[in-house]
A and B are shown apart, each in its own frame.
Chain A
Amino acid sequence: MTSILNNVLNAMQQVIIEPVEGSLNLFKLVGGSCLWATELLPLSASQKVFSIDDNTPFLQDFLIDAQLIWNGSEDNRVRSGFWTEVVANNKELHLEAIAIKQDDQSLLIISNQTEDFTLRQSTMQSARELSLYNDHLIEQNEYLHTRILAIFNKPYEQENIITALTKAIENAGFAVLITKSDLTTIIANTAALHLFEQGGSSTHESSNPVDIIVQLLKNQLPEYERIIATKSSWDGELCWMSPPSTLKWLKVALYPVLDDLNEIKNWIIFANDISNIKYLVQRNEKSDLQDLLTQLPNRISFWQRLEKQIISNIPFYLLYVDVNDFRRHNEFYGHDEGDKLLIEVSGRIKSSIKTSDFIARVGGDEFAIILTDIDNQACCEGVVERILDCTREPFQTSELESFNVNLSIGAANFPHDAHSVEELMKFVDLSAYNGKRSKANSLQFYSQSMKDASRLIIEVEHELREAIKNDEFELFLQPIIDLELNKIVKAEALIRWNHPTKGMLFPDSFIAIAEKSGLIITIGKWVIDTACQMVDKINKMGHKVKISLNLSPAQVFDENLFPHLHACIKNNKIDPCLLELEITEGVMIDDYAITEKLLNKVRAIGVSVSIDDFGTGYSSLAYLKKLPLDFLKIDRSFVRDIVSDDNDKAIVRAVIAMAHNLNLGVIAEGVETQEQLDFLEQNSCNSVQGYFFSKPIEFSSFIMLLQNQKKKDFESHSS
């Protein structure tokens, strides 16, 4: 090898080694003469052949990969990756090896990579410290949020709540503020006061932490009004600039605390100073306009682009894409899987839009897209359809578990809907939020009717709140007849709303809104209270009749449901065997673990459980087999044509047989004719319910039914 090449190799801190032909583990040095190479492989200096043995175990192991390359028929190469070797005097060498096969020549190049190693270590050190800090922050936030909510939910005296809260938040490593519903401060921890201390004396701004945060939210967050009005949670980054000396990046989280009537009781605010992290990120990423996770432009970059787009005055559509149930996904599969999902979603969306369109990640699970060269709604719908199409394919976790994701997409047009960045963002955010209510894939264009619909929901919500206060609900009972005993053994409790102006309303006109607004929890508690009182009264009259209650999904996931049910049973001194809970199939699928836990607990105290509307949802036999159940209610839609439709006959027969095999009782709903009853009796159905016997009736009428039944029983026994 020429001396010039040797000089280059030495300058590059590389040596070249060649395997000795015909030998598996003998080598000779053919280029380069660095001191470190002699320290690493002492025998290489003697110009003789040497072996690579377990004194350098990493290199020895790498030879297996190298041999594969050298023995191959084509030109190829493989890198070992960095490794560290300790030589004399505890000196560390940071090395990398490359095995090359080129024109039938086999070579092993070893490079001293100290410079690259140090650079990578410094970058990774920052990145990992950042990631560690984030992990701890997320855990601390989750912990403290849960703890504060638990304190609010306990029946403390007001002053004890303040003491408990102060104790809980004082030692948090970040700013925690608890405010009244109007965002006036109740408690601020020491970290909050420190965080918002301002350097410099001449400032006109308020030094109250909450005031500062609210001002920043108003100025930097177009969604602010919507978040407050819809009592939503929010977390994200805010930049706090207060001349002459303050410039801080804050990671802020805002959580509502709701009362029984779903009205804001308090706000919890967390704030962390992430200026250092921002600095590290900027140093590592060389850009503060890129989102670290998805590599898409970030929120700031998006705003700049949107401003430019508006100045150009060319019509365009703005889309706001929200991943439905992302928080739940994160909780279920973990944050890493959540990150993986966001990367995948962003990639799929990006591949479905034109390169001239602009996509950015503007929030945790939110993306914004500027669709250029589009000026009509139909074209915009076409693009959205493409986006939804590409996200319909199932996603996979690292464990190869498949799941689906739905998107809520809000759309607004410039200049038709709005002329400014703030207004446009506000409108698309509102549109996406409205679409999100459906939980399915949705596209919502900004429109007057959307605003009207939101207003209607708010009105009904308000009326429902009044209804709870004014006791406008009633519980009707529909008898369930045991076919073997031929008597009423059970009744399903069904709610009615005695509206002051609209008259008696059925649940389908208000339960959906009650569920969306969270009021279902309070209404559900009222149903449980009332049903327990009814059981007590019926029992005292000498009848033994069970009352079954419908549970909504929100109630199943409410951790206070079981304690409340248990307390009502105790307070009314009723036999728990006289209560039954009805859940739908959808609830089981939504969260099997939570449902199973609840059902096990209620059955442990003697309350029975039935599956409502069986056959209409995602009937999974696996769930039926695993879940602790007592009864299965066949949906009315199968019973309706049971006499004429052979398919329905077959289905009902199969369901009854299957239920009996699983030791479940069967109740048929919607029985209206003698023929239907005959069929069900012939096929060993256990109980029936429907207009053939009675529609849902008021409590007093139900008592009369029971008394008539008792009278008939008595007469038949005495005759």
Chain B
Amino acid sequence: MIQKKICLLGASSVGKTSLVKQFVEGIFNEKYLTTIGVKIDKKVVTLENNSLQFMLWDIEGNDRYNAFQERYLRGASAYIIVADQTRTTSLIEGLEIHSLARKVAKCPAILAINKSDLQPSWHWEDKGLEDYNDLFDLHFYTSAKTGANVDNMFIELAKLLQES
């Protein structure tokens, strides 16, 4: 089966681990537990004519304690930048990570705006999201908590990778 390495990137505590957990195991844990280093999960995504195995690299969030490490992107078929819509700064940080990732990985990039079940930050709308969407191949509003759009995001990504 064809394997595809997918990296989840973003600021800390935006919900990268929760998205993977929701997608792979279908569960959500309310308690936040910060990721250290990397954890890889696998899941087979079945499309109409084909199946792909996703290797999901859940990478520790980037912040002042943990700088972005480009080597984790080596061999990636795509990466997902995750932002938290209740925290505007996480979007800005996500875009910064995206610009760093762009320099080393020429693969498709997806924007996942997570925690869509919660009220967005008060000036979230001012940030001109439409402009940012153009920077990504696909973009989704997801909720790891309710599962909204999570499977859909990975399936759409699989379709995109199948086409390319």
Contact between A128 and B63 (Cβ–Cβ < 8 Å)?
yes
Tell me whether A291 is interfacial, beta carbon within 8 Å: no
Q: How far is the CB of B38 from chain A (nearest CB, A)?
A: 5
> Are B55 and A399 in touch, CB under 8 angstroms?
no
| Binary interface encoding of chain B residues 34-56 relative to chain A, with 1 for a CB under 8 A from any of its CBs, else 0 | 10111110000000000000010
Contact between chains at B93 and A81 (CB < 8 Å): no
Nearest-neighbor residue (CB-CB) of B5 within chain A: A57
Complex Cα gap A117–B33 (Å) = 13
Stretch from A331-339, A511-519, A649-657, A684-692 contacting the other chain: A331-339
Q: Which of A135-143, A203-211, A244-252, A268-276 participates in binding chain B?
A: A135-143
Is A131's CB within 8 Å of the partner chain B? yes
Chain B positions 1 through 40: 1 when the CB is less than 8 Å from some CB of chain A, otherwise 0: 0010100000011000000000000000000111011111
Expressed in whole angstroms, the minimum distance between the Cβ of A594 and any Cβ of chain B is: 13
A65 within 8 A of B: yes
Q: Contact check: which of A54, A139, A334 meets B121 at CB < 8 Å?
A: A139
Asked if A420 lies at the interface with its beta carbon under 8 angstroms from chain B, I say no
Any B CB within 8 A of the CB of A187: no
Docked Cα-Cα span, A628 to B161, in Å, equals 45
The number of chain B residues touching the other chain, given as a range, is: 20 to 34
Chain B residues near A439 (CB, 8 Å)?
none
| Interface class of chain A by DSSP | helix
| With A83-B37, A139-B88: A129-B64 Cβ-Cβ less than 8 Å | no
Q: Does A381 contact B (CB under 8 A)?
A: no
The answer to whether A82 has its CB under 8 Å from any CB of chain B is: yes
Shortest C-beta distance, B10 to chain A (Å), equals 13
CA distance A143 to B123 in the complex (A): 8
Given A139-B87, A143-B122, A336-B92: A124 and B39 interface contact (C-beta under 8 Å): no
**Does A117 lie within 8 Å of B13, measured CB to CB?**
no
- CB-CB contacts of B47-77 with A at 8 A, as 1s and 0s? 0000000010000010111100101001100
Residue B96 at the A interface, CB < 8 A?
yes
> Inside 8 A of A94's CB, which chain B residues have their CB?
36-37
Are B89 and A125 interface neighbours, CB within 8 A? no
B99 part of interface (Cβ distance < 8 Å): yes
The reply on A448 being an interface residue by CB < 8 A is no
Whether B96 lies near A132 (C-beta < 8 A) is no
Min CB–CB distance A636 → chain B (angstroms):
41
Contact A136-B89, Cβ < 8 Å, known A82-B36, A82-B37, A124-B36: no
A54-B3 in contact given A81-B69, A82-B38, A339-B64 (Cβ < 8 Å): yes
Q: How far is the CB of B130 from chain A (nearest CB, A)?
A: 17
Name which residue of chain B comes closest to A124, CB basis: B34
B36 touches A121 (CB 8 A): yes
Interface hits, A82-127 → B, CB 8 Å: 82-84, 86, 94, 117, 120-121, 124-125, 127
How many residues on the A side are at the interface (Cβ–Cβ under 8 A)?
A: 32
User: Is A485 positioned at the interface, with any CB of B under 8 Å from its CB?
Assistant: no
Q: Check B89 against A336 for contact (C-beta < 8 Å).
A: yes
Contacts of B96 in A (CB 8 A): 398-399
A64 interface contact, C-beta 8 A: yes
Docked pose: A335 CA to B13 CA in angstroms = 17
Question: Which of these, A135, A143, A339, contacts B87 with CB under 8 Å?
Answer: A135
- Verify B89–A334 contact, CB threshold 8 A: yes
Q: In the complex, A84→B87 CA distance in Å?
A: 28
Q: Report the separation of the CA atoms of residues A117 and B38 in the bound assembly, to the nearest whole angstrom.
A: 12
Q: Is the contact region of chain B dominated by helix, strand, or loop, or is it mixed?
A: loop
Q: Say yes or no: A335 contacts B89, CB within 8 Å.
A: yes
Pairwise interchain contact A136-B87, C-beta atoms closer than 8 A? yes
Task: Indicate if the CB atoms of B65 and A139 lie closer than 8 Å.
Answer: no
Select the residue from A84, A143, A335 with max chain B CB neighbours within 10 A: A84
The residue that B92 contacts in the complex, of A83, A120, A334, with Cβ under 8 A, is A334
Contact A84 B38 (CB under 8 A): yes
The residues of B that contact A131 with a CB separation of less than 8 Å are 12, 63-64
B75 lies within 8 A of A83 (CB): no
Q: A289–B75 Cα gap in the complex (Å)?
A: 45
Chain A nearest Cβ from B129, distance in angstroms = 16
A65-B71, A139-B87 as given contacts; A121 in contact with B3, CB under 8 Å: no
Asked if A61 CB lies within 8 Å of chain B CBs, one says: yes
B-facing mask of A55-89, CB < 8 A → 1, else 0?
A: 00110010011000000000000000111101000
A 655-688 contacts with B by CB, 8 A: none
Whether the Cβ atoms of A125 and B33 lie closer than 8 Å is yes
Interface string of B115-132 (1 = CB under 8 A from A): 000000111000000000
Report the minimal beta-carbon distance from B23 to chain A, rounded to whole angstroms: 16
The distance from the CB of B111 to the nearest CB of chain A, in whole angstroms, is 18
Contact residues of A between 148 and 172, Cβ < 8 Å to B:
none
Cα distance A124–B123 in the bound complex, in angstroms: 28
How far is A125 from B66 in the complex, measured between Cα atoms in Å?
A: 13
A398 to chain B, nearest CB (A): 6
B73: shortest Cβ distance to chain A, in Å? 11
Task: State whether A125 touches B39 (Cβ < 8 A).
Answer: no
The answer to whether A128 touches B13 (Cβ under 8 A) is yes
Chain A contacts for B38, CB-based, 8 A: 58, 81-84
B40 touches A57 (CB 8 A): yes
CB distance from A148 to the nearest CB of B (A): 13
Distance between Cα atoms of A399 and B123 in the complex (Å): 22
| Beta-carbon contact of B40 and A58 below 8 Å | yes
Q: Would B122 and A117 count as touching, CB distance under 8 A? A: no
Q: A81-B37, A124-B34 are in contact. List 12 more A-B contacts (CB 8 A).
A: A54-B3, A81-B38, A117-B37, A121-B36, A125-B32, A128-B12, A132-B13, A135-B89, A139-B122, A143-B123, A336-B89, A339-B64
Binding site for A on B (CB under 8 A): 3, 5, 12-13, 32-34, 36-40, 55, 61, 63-66, 69, 71, 74-75, 86-89, 92-93, 96, 99, 121-123
Question: Closest 8 A-B residue pairs measured CB to CB?
Answer: A82-B37, A84-B39, A143-B122, A83-B38, A83-B37, A125-B34, A128-B12, A121-B36
Question: Can you offer 26 A-B residue contacts whose CB atoms are under 8 A?
Answer: A57-B5, A61-B74, A65-B71, A81-B37, A81-B69, A82-B37, A83-B37, A84-B37, A94-B37, A120-B36, A124-B34, A124-B66, A125-B34, A127-B65, A129-B32, A132-B13, A135-B89, A136-B87, A139-B87, A139-B122, A143-B122, A143-B123, A336-B92, A336-B93, A339-B64, A399-B96
